[in-house]
Structure 1
Amino acid sequence: MIYTNAVASTDGDTVWIRPSGIIWQQADVLATRTSTEDRLQWYRAISKNHVAVQDLLKEWDLTSAPRFRENSRETLRDEIFGTLRNNGAIRQRAGLPTSSSKPRWALESHFANLFDPLLTGDEFLAAIDTWTSEHLDAGSRLKALRSRATADRDHEVLVQLPGEGGTRSLEPSESSRILKGVIEEWAPRRLNDPLVLTISEPGDKLYVQDQQQLSTLGINIDVSNLLPDALIADLGTNPVTFWIIEAVATDGPITDHRKDQLLTWAADQHISPDSCQFLTAFSSRGSSPARRRLKDLAASTYAWYLDEPTMELQWDQISGRGGTVIPIRPSR
């Protein structure tokens, strides 16, 4: 991280790296390619992909000899980076969804200062003692946690739930913005009396509107099992209709296979298949996921687009001779 100058800056011009950039690092690069231009070239390569790294090594006439196995990046990210972050030594970039592949890690400047080569002997030991006393006690870790939470709030997606449901904060992502549209725009138009039961997010994050109501319904939420992005009940129908919703930012529409999986999940929650409806939500009809996956939508399901909130797409079987399929119709 020091080699690429991935040190958090106060002016917003921070260089961020991914764990893979460390996995691909090797001794020959550190030892022989030390100029500013070399470091910039290396940073550009690791910011692209492993092929770019291999091409740069060939250009430098160096043999590829990474110090870590490729699959060790999860340990680096989850255990080492997590511990360093909790102790205030490195910073995680705010505003990125959990699923994003963009670089998000940089050293805190006060921690990076400990690696100043001019800092030696007793002065070096004193600097370590000072940093430890200022950053490793419980109060300092609490301040670091508070600071991260404040930064995350600046980027979160705030959703107004129907009725007296209050608000819910979702992580910053395109799927969160689509879900916000479903809950705030689609549900009030389409459903008689909507109640948001669950919202699931990447990283095993699960929002439950009312655990007591779920218990009454016999619904047991387990994040280790398959979950839809959202489950909304329409209390204004008899029997109650359960809408199983997937928000597609990159992939994951309700296909026939996915529908079967979700119906099995619903049955396990004591929800009758006859009471289930399905909605795949996209950002736009022109978005890449919508253009690619519209052909894969399961029969008897609906699609909705964030930028056309008053419209809804229905895909269903023709009912018989004289029957009519209405592929696009306004929502109520």
Structure 2
Amino acid sequence: MPESLPPLVGVDEVLRRLQTIFPREAFDAAVSNPLGAQAITAMLYGGAVIADDDVVTKQHTIVKPTTCLWLQESVLVTRTADDERRAWIAAAAAHSNAKKKTQELVESWDLTFHPPYKDGTREPLRDETFAAWLDRGAIKSLPDVQTNYPNARWALTSSFASLFDPALTGPELGTAIEAWRTAHLGRLDLVRVQTLRDRDREAHSVEVRLPNGRTRHLEPGDSSRILKGVIEQWAAERLADPVVLTISEPGDKVYVIDDAFLARLGILIDQRSLLPDAVIIDIGADPAMVWIVEAVASDGPVNEGRRADLLAWAVDQRIDPNTCRFLSAFLSRNHSAARRRLKDLAVGTYAWYLDEPSRELSWHEISEER
């Protein structure tokens, strides 16, 4: 057992901080859900914390997923002495009859044994939440054990546990969270966090730098942020020589580049007809490819019906439909629009996520890809 136990903190405060560390908009819900907050609270209560550079052994204070499920509010708030906390963790993390021992201990304190979660929730806690935390250095495990190892094997890392110290508040807490994320999260996670920050900053307008070096200010909002990402990141990486033909915004605001350039391409843009959110032409391809983009902030991916309408629109604009490609762009795989609408993507189209800019999804018939 550790000589001193971590400061006590309630489940609600743990959940609030957990969702600050791993914002729901940027991370899978498994890393910051109420079940995860329950687990952290229990591990802090029992002192299951290990130094970041230590290897977990059976001599450390470690827990099973079910251990975390049995800490009830009445124990957390009334049994706060170190010897009581150590007695609880010894019972709840025991190799055998742990639940019975925990119940007997709780009842010896004149409390009714009433765990807040059923034992069946141990599997999502272990397989989803703990697994995601392990990848990010928030938790450690006994090495060389099976996934379904039945005994105690988990502990919080000390750097992660320190973020839940109730004495750490305000700007100091924000600084500590930022330092922990920088030290422990991978590049894609950090991109997601930065993307979320940018979203919060862009309250008045979204400035887009076009491939020709000019800038365009779009109305604030998620659709504009997605379009900014498509133009500045996706197109710059994906296309040989991109040129933005049109950008459409709410309120019938349409940006169209030089009409003389369009005339040289043989393209006629009729602003009175249906317009996609953006049209980008790759003049570096042979033949030039026309990418038709829909920014899906809430709805409107390129489904089968929308693809047919857009192809008809392309014909009306004198664009060869054989040169058309379609992209549905989302904020994140975790965003509600992506979760709801990915299933609707038309065959022969692509998808892209703002917080994972180096990746792209392709939904095509297998025979076409051979």
Q: Compute the TM-score of the two structures, normalised by the length of structure 1.
A: 0.49
Specify the structure having the higher radius of gyration (Cα): 2
Q: Which has the higher contact order (CA 8 A, sep 6+)?
A: 2
Q: Compute the TM-score of the two structures, normalised by the length of structure 2.
A: 0.44
